[in-house]
Amino acid sequence: MSKRTVPRRNGAVLRCRATRECTNTRRVKRALGAPFKGAAGKDVVSRTWRRVKAGWEAWNRRPLADEDIVRLILDGTVVRVRLDRKAASISLLVVLGVRDDGQKVLLSVRDMGSESEAAWRGVLDDLLSRGLRTPQWCRRIGARAGGVAACGADAALHGA
């Protein structure tokens, strides 16, 4: 293996992680097709998928105590996906943090099944359990009542 192909292959893994395009081994193989010139075997696909999955799980467990977050922005979106060859809708709950200097940080992306108040409370409780300090301000984008209730009156979010 030449020194030129290693960065190209590592780049494919990073793109795969960044875009979350690689959600199963078939998609991993497709994403790795170009850098491996179509010669990505099952072992390469499996190893890559394990690395992506481990990285995603570590990102979701990372401590947030060092983040200087002063504002939270909550947003939910519904994504159409194919599961077991059938179209389905998945509700994703997204939490952005805003640092004191204005920089936005993605804190959480969760598939919670709905945008209910209980689902939002679960996401916020997870952030607090990882050390996120209580923000000064919280805003829910959209009209679903669950996020508004969890953001505005959540006792856990406001330290009660």
10-40 pLDDT, tens digit per residue, is: 455 444 444 444 456 677 777 777 777 767 7
Average pLDDT for the chain: 76
73-107 pLDDT, tens digit per residue, is: 998 888 888 777 788 888 889 999 999 999 999 99
The residues pairing with 76 across neighbouring beta strands, listed in sequence order, are 93
Which pair of structure tokens corresponds to residue 106?
């993605």
Higher pLDDT, 148 or 142: 142
Does position 4 have pLDDT exceeding 60, yes or no? no
What lies within 8 Å, CB to CB, of 101 at 6+ separation is none
- Domain ranges (residues) in the chain: 5-61, 69-153
Dist CA 157 CA 135 (whole Å)? 8
The per-residue b/e assignment along 112-124, b for 16 or more CB within 10 angstroms, e otherwise, is beebbbebbbebb
Find the angle CA(50)-CA(54)-CA(78) to the nearest 5 degrees.
100
Banded model confidence at residue 115, pLDDT cuts 50, 70, 90: confident
pTM over 0.75: no
Higher pLDDT, 142 or 144: 142
Compute the 3-state secondary structure of the chain and give helix, strand, coil in percent, each to the nearest 5. Answer: 40, 25, 35
Q: DSSP H helical segments within the chain, as ranges? A: 5-19, 25-32, 42-61, 117-129, 145-153
